[in-house]
């Protein structure tokens, strides 16, 4: 099952990538939403091999997720991979410069069930697909506007 969204952001690609790859800010945002997020690698620089452990509530159950960055190619691409309770997830973040001051942010989330419980979860998600797609697109639009606003304030 795949979710995709694209948003155009009024900012240069390098600045947008810096915001999208500001993992400390993203970790704090997840904590504010009730997730427990912890960095589990010992890398000193951003790049493939960065790992996080996350615990959160989803669809009425406590979930645990280990996430690993598999691709880091500034200022264009990041890819993350995780497996949790039989559900394999690949998140691709892609940036394209439309002009010197405009960037397109694309996010693709691909879910692949590898167990019976994961298949049941994905099947229930498929039943609510249109609603989930709307929420995904709204979250993406909010995130893009938030990036624009942070960059505008930073000058």
The domain segmentation of the chain, as residue ranges, is 2-154
For residue 100, what pLDDT is reported?
97
Give tens-digit pLDDT for 102-122.
Answer: 999 999 999 999 999 999 989
For residue 58, what pLDDT is reported?
79
Percent of residues, the chain, with pLDDT higher than 70: 100
For residue 16, what pLDDT is reported?
98
For residue 85, what pLDDT is reported?
87
CATH fold of 2-154, please? Alpha-D-Glucose-1,6-Bisphosphate; Chain A, domain 4 (3.30.530)
What is the pTM assigned to this prediction? 0.92
For residue 10, what pLDDT is reported?
96
Q: Is the pLDDT of residue 59 over 90?
A: no
Beta-carbon contacts of 58 under 8 Å, excluding residues fewer than 6 positions away, are none
């Amino acid at each position: 099952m795949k979710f995709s969204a694209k948003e155009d952001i009024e900012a240069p690609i390098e600045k947008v990538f810096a915001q999208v790859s500001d993992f400390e800010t993203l970790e704090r945002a997840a904590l504010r939403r009730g997730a427990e997020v912890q960095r589990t690698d010992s890398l000193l620089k951003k790049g493939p091999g960065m790992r996080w452990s996350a615990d959160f509530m989803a669809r009425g159950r406590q979930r645990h997720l280990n996430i690993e960055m598999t691709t880091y190619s500034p200022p264009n691409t990041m890819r993350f991979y995780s497996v949790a309770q039989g559900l394999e997830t690949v998140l691709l973040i892609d940036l394209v410069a439309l002009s010197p001051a405009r960037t397109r942010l694309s996010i693709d989330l691909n879910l692949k069930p590898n167990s019976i419980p994961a298949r049941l979860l994905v099947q229930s998600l498929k039943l609510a697909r249109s609603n989930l797609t709307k929420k995904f697109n709204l979250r993406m639009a909010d995130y893009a506007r938030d990036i624009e606003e942070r960059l505008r304030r930073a000058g």
